[in-house]
Structure 1
Amino acid sequence: MAKKVTIYEVANRAKVAISTVSRVLNESPNVSPATKEKVEKAIKELNFRPQVSARKLASKEPQMLAIAVPSFTTPYFNEVLKGVKDEIKKMDLDIIMYNTGSKNPEEAVQNFFDRGTADAVILLSIDISDDVHALLQATNTPVIMVNGSHPHYSYIMLNDYRGGYLAGEHLVKQGFENIGMITTFLNSRSAQQREQGFRDALKNYRMKIDEDLFLSGDTTKHGGFTEESGFEAVNKYEQLGKFPDAVFCSNDTQAVGAIYALNQLGMKVPDDIAVMGYDNIKLSKYLDLTTIDQQMYTIGVQATEKLSQIIKNPDQELFQTTIDPQLVERGSTKNMNAK
């Protein structure tokens, strides 16, 4: 039985994007005569017969949803993607997962859009550059941003400043005085806002800030949001010869590495040192880890729901909102010396 020819093969034969093939099938005027001739020639040579998917493209209905994300391996992004995956089942869309990497993700997104393979897009922790904005406007591509913002697009922002402030406030109210933080290498809005919120909380409660207790590990992978970074930071405290009474980790994954390092040094959590994380990944519950819940799965679901609405009604008012995280108090920050 002969294999069915797909629209992708037509696009490859004609050396154009599949969106261009769809425009030709739709008899769009926005295709040059020369390009139209190339596509029609490829269709004839391959004996292509548009099936449901191709007719869907020709009718300008979105078919391919792209999710652009800096990493597939971090628990934070995985939780958001689970929400997207579960909600996307309700939409008649195929899905592409695109890993931009943590270095120059905006440039990677530009290259991806240049291929013309996405009909609708969710951007996770990625900003929209001027070039990408111009391309999206020209193609009227439905977009929603998660943990990023732009005045021309719908987005769901995460209030990382508030999350950092909640972390600092909690440790102060627990009675800790020498408080530190394991920071990151990534110069991102999220990382900066978490640290700033944390510092401001300590200042507002008139706590002394010891800069020696604010440090990062040496591993730069994923910007330092890793187990290795948490592990290395704790060993730096050991080399300095002083530990904080309580330490706030930039995410739960760092906290996992930090707790392991403390165990290796014969120190117990929270008896010798309190440890706090950020994200509320599944593992944090089983580590009895106090953390900041960003409601990542729920945000993935909500972002997909809103994108579906944008697809159905492109002219609707932009959805732009900020979600405040919540403190999840567990045993890892119990002050054993509190009166």
Structure 2
Amino acid sequence: MNKKITIYEVANQAGVAISTVSRVLNKSPNVSQETRDKVDDAIKSLKFRPQANARKLARKEPQMLAIAVPSFTTPYFNEVLKGVKDELMKMDLDIIIYNTGSRNPEDAVPSFFDRGTADALIILSIEVTTDIHELVQATQTPVVLVNSHHPAYNYFMMNDYHGGFIAGEHLVKKGFKKIGMIRAFTKNRAAIAREKGFKDALQSNGIEIEDRFFITGKSSKHGGLTEEAGFEAIHLLHNQGEMPEALFCSNDTQALGAIHALNGLGLSVPDDIALMGYDNIKLSKYLDLTTVDQQMHTIGVKATQRLGEIIKNPAQKALQQTIDPVLIERGSTNKI
């Protein structure tokens, strides 16, 4: 009862060669309709279930998509992964997530390739070093980059400078003069660009940059883009004896911790201090949090679509796009 039906038994019942059954399964046009019907009847009668992976392997088709990501527990990465997952449902590929964690990407990514588990790859927020580039070229793996860039690859970059700039511009237009920022702990490319854009917006509008209002939480986990870091930063500002009128958080998760800390100090948003975040995670809507939308889900969808295109046609010219984030204004920055 539990015997697995094989292609040999299908061929025997249909009275055809094994190669003919294979051509029917692979939808080859070089089979008469009469023969195709015989094979189809045998498949139904025997309840034969062909192994999709084996057929793909025989055709040398990709079977497994991998996503290399520094973390899959933060809301930012989750939104991108949801976009990948939603688009992948339309493609005949399985998916694995490779979490590089806190490891050096130059060590983590090569170890992933050594496993030989994936036929195509999305690299999310990991810079492509010379070593990684040489490895991808040697294996001829189709690759799309998200939030990193390299001239040899298809990529979708977030314009963090623009995101920081529109955040600063928004707070200035709201009439705030004493403006600060909760910074990231790790000074990576995105964090540096975001802070520079924010400061440039303040300076171009005649607002003095007051260093005491630019604060970093003590927690270094996830680069300081956590609730704990936002909570700590508020208390550090409070201990200085003076708070800014408005604060820009490096991401929405920091803003969650900041709101909790402010409430604990008897301060409210926006009555006592205006607050805005970055990323537009789902929860920000329900906190009435002004934020900057990076369109993370959309970028995950686009990256997966592009990967499908280059799997079919590897020789096509690389698509390289920079995505401008947009401001989402809500009640947390309404000046009272």
The TM-score, its normalising length taken from structure 1, stands at: 0.83
Asked whether the 8 Å contact 1:113–1:132 carries over to 2, the reply is: no
* Deviation, structure 1 residue 307: 0.5
Correspondence for 1:262: 262
Query: What is the alpha-carbon distance in structure 1 between the residues aligned to residue 328 and residue 234 of structure 2?
Result: 23
- Structure 2 vs 1, CA of residues 89 and 227 (structure 1 numbering), >3 Å: closer, same or farther? same
Correspondence for 1:77: 77
Please say if 1:228 is aligned against 2:225.
no
Unaligned ranges ≥5, structure 1: 5-49
Asked whether the 8 Å contact 2:184–2:223 carries over to 1, the reply is: yes
* Deviation, structure 1 residue 187: 2.0
* Deviation, structure 1 residue 60: 2.0
Correspondence for 1:189: 189
Correspondence for 1:130: 130
Identify the range of structure 1 (267-276 vs 95-104) with the bigger mean alpha-carbon deviation. Answer: 95-104
RMSD: 1.5
- Structure 2 vs 1, CA of residues 265 and 55 (structure 1 numbering), >3 Å: closer, same or farther? same
Correspondence for 1:242: 242
Correspondence for 2:303: 303
Q: Over residues 292-334 of structure 1, what are the superposed CA-to-partner deviations in whole Å (9 max), with x where a residue is unaligned?
A: 0011111111110111001011011101000000000000001
* Deviation, structure 1 residue 2: 7.7
Percentage of identical aligned residues: 66
Query: What is the alpha-carbon distance in structure 2 between the residues aligned to residue 311 and residue 321 of structure 1?
Result: 19
Correspondence for 1:41: none
Query: What is the alpha-carbon distance in structure 2 between the residues aligned to residue 110 and residue 51 of structure 1?
Result: 30
Asked whether the 8 Å contact 2:181–2:215 carries over to 1, the reply is: yes
Asked whether the 8 Å contact 1:181–1:250 carries over to 2, the reply is: yes
Asked whether the 8 Å contact 1:106–1:126 carries over to 2, the reply is: no
Query: What is the alpha-carbon distance in structure 2 between the residues aligned to residue 103 and residue 211 of structure 1?
Result: 32
Deviant stretches of 4+, over 4 Å: 1-4
Query: What is the alpha-carbon distance in structure 2 between the residues aligned to residue 193 and residue 69 of structure 1?
Result: 20
Asked whether the 8 Å contact 2:233–2:258 carries over to 1, the reply is: yes
Q: Which amino acid aligns with 2:277?
A: G
Asked whether the 8 Å contact 1:84–1:304 carries over to 2, the reply is: yes
Q: Over residues 240-275 of structure 1, what are the superposed CA-to-partner deviations in whole Å (9 max), with x where a residue is unaligned?
A: 111010000000000000011000000010010000
- Structure 2 vs 1, CA of residues 274 and 51 (structure 1 numbering), >3 Å: closer, same or farther? same
* Deviation, structure 1 residue 57: 2.4
* Deviation, structure 1 residue 109: 1.0
Query: What is the alpha-carbon distance in structure 1 between the residues aligned to residue 206 and residue 152 of structure 2?
Result: 40
Query: What is the alpha-carbon distance in structure 1 between the residues aligned to residue 293 and residue 53 of structure 2?
Result: 40
Q: Give matches, 1:94-113, under 5 Å.
A: 94-113=94-113
Number of residue-to-residue matches in the alignment: 291
Asked whether the 8 Å contact 2:106–2:131 carries over to 1, the reply is: no
Larger Rg: 2
- Structure 2 vs 1, CA of residues 60 and 268 (structure 1 numbering), >3 Å: closer, same or farther? same
* Deviation, structure 1 residue 114: 1.8
Q: Matched residue of 1:247: which SS?
A: strand
Query: What is the alpha-carbon distance in structure 2 between the residues aligned to residue 311 and residue 184 of structure 1?
Result: 36
Q: Matched residue of 1:123: which SS?
A: strand
Correspondence for 2:314: 314
Correspondence for 1:46: none
Correspondence for 1:24: none
Q: Over residues 134-176 of structure 1, what are the superposed CA-to-partner deviations in whole Å (9 max), with x where a residue is unaligned?
A: 1211221110000000010000000000000000000011000
Q: Over residues 86-125 of structure 1, what are the superposed CA-to-partner deviations in whole Å (9 max), with x where a residue is unaligned?
A: 1101111111111111442342111111222110000110
Query: What is the alpha-carbon distance in structure 2 between the residues aligned to residue 51 and residue 85 of structure 1?
Result: 23
* Deviation, structure 1 residue 51: 4.3
The TM-score, its normalising length taken from structure 2, stands at: 0.84
Please say if 1:274 is aligned against 2:274.
yes
Correspondence for 1:288: 288
Query: What is the alpha-carbon distance in structure 2 between the residues aligned to residue 289 and residue 103 of structure 1?
Result: 33
- Structure 2 vs 1, CA of residues 3 and 135 (structure 1 numbering), >3 Å: closer, same or farther? farther
Asked whether the 8 Å contact 1:147–1:158 carries over to 2, the reply is: yes
* Deviation, structure 1 residue 133: 1.2
Query: What is the alpha-carbon distance in structure 1 between the residues aligned to residue 328 and residue 261 of structure 2?
Result: 23
Q: Matched residue of 2:151: which SS?
A: coil
Correspondence for 2:326: 326
Query: What is the alpha-carbon distance in structure 2 between the residues aligned to residue 187 and residue 54 of structure 1?
Result: 46
Correspondence for 2:210: 210
* Deviation, structure 1 residue 3: 9.1
Query: What is the alpha-carbon distance in structure 1 between the residues aligned to residue 160 and residue 332 of structure 2?
Result: 21
Unaligned ranges ≥5, structure 2: 6-49
Query: What is the alpha-carbon distance in structure 2 between the residues aligned to residue 115 and residue 129 of structure 1?
Result: 20
